Amino acid sequence: MSGEILTERTGPVATVILSAPERLNAMNLAMWQGIADAFVALDKDDGLRCIVMRGAGEKAFAAGADIAEFASERFDRDSARTYGGIMAAALEAIQNCRHPVLAMIHGACVGGGLELACCCDMRICGTGSRFGVPVKNLGLVVALNEMQAVASVVGRATALEIVLEGRIFGAEEALQKGLVNRVVPNDQVTQEAEATARRIADGAPLVARWHKSFARRLTDPQPLSEADIEESYACFDTEDFQTGYKAFLAKEKPEFRGK
């Protein structure tokens, strides 16, 4: 069906699909709400080790917000505030999810789609992928929390370049800007993203969650506290640490249980 957020599960890896292929997965209000609902639910799943987010098909990750919906859902300050609150909840649900989140990017990743991708922890795209936030042509600003998501990945100057020029640019430039982690041939995007998710899932899940938490803490300009440093040693009290180092010494593959 179109205009949905679909969730699939393969072992410890979940895939969240932005499904509106006939409009290049442009996001309507129900889809923004669906993203928030999906990630809140996935965050509570102790059996998960990685989440992949992708668009339906291979033409687009997401071509931004569905502009055709603006006349009914985003037409003045009050309606925009309501819409923006739902959109913000979706972005925050991805960022706050304790599991690593990987964006699998086929084709267009623009506007709100780029903001969604920036909320993920890693991004893999194809050589034909296209990026940009051309909202200047709509007389529309990127809200503060949305710009924060982009700036946290590429920095203030590059975030401003993206929104002020509003141009669409390719995968190699996205890689140079630090917007994506990896560029692969278009026909290898799914394979590479799935292999990356498996590598993440093979590791100790508690460690992955700690690393995600640590990386986010480091964006806070406040000095590290004693409690912050102390948390760095909590892994030594886990079953997974005992499993991991003993398996290494025995030259065996560890079987982590997330405990």
> How many Å apart are CA 143 and CA 65, to the nearest integer?
13
Residue ranges in the chain modelled with pLDDT below 70? 1-2
Note the pLDDT of residue 1: 45
Domains assigned to the chain: 4-200 (3.90.226.10), 204-249 (1.10.12.10)
Q: Output the pLDDT for position 220.
A: 87
Q: Which pLDDT score is estimated for 199?
A: 96
In tens, the pLDDT along 117-146 reads 999 999 999 999 999 999 999 999 999 999
The answer to whether the pTM exceeds 0.75 is yes
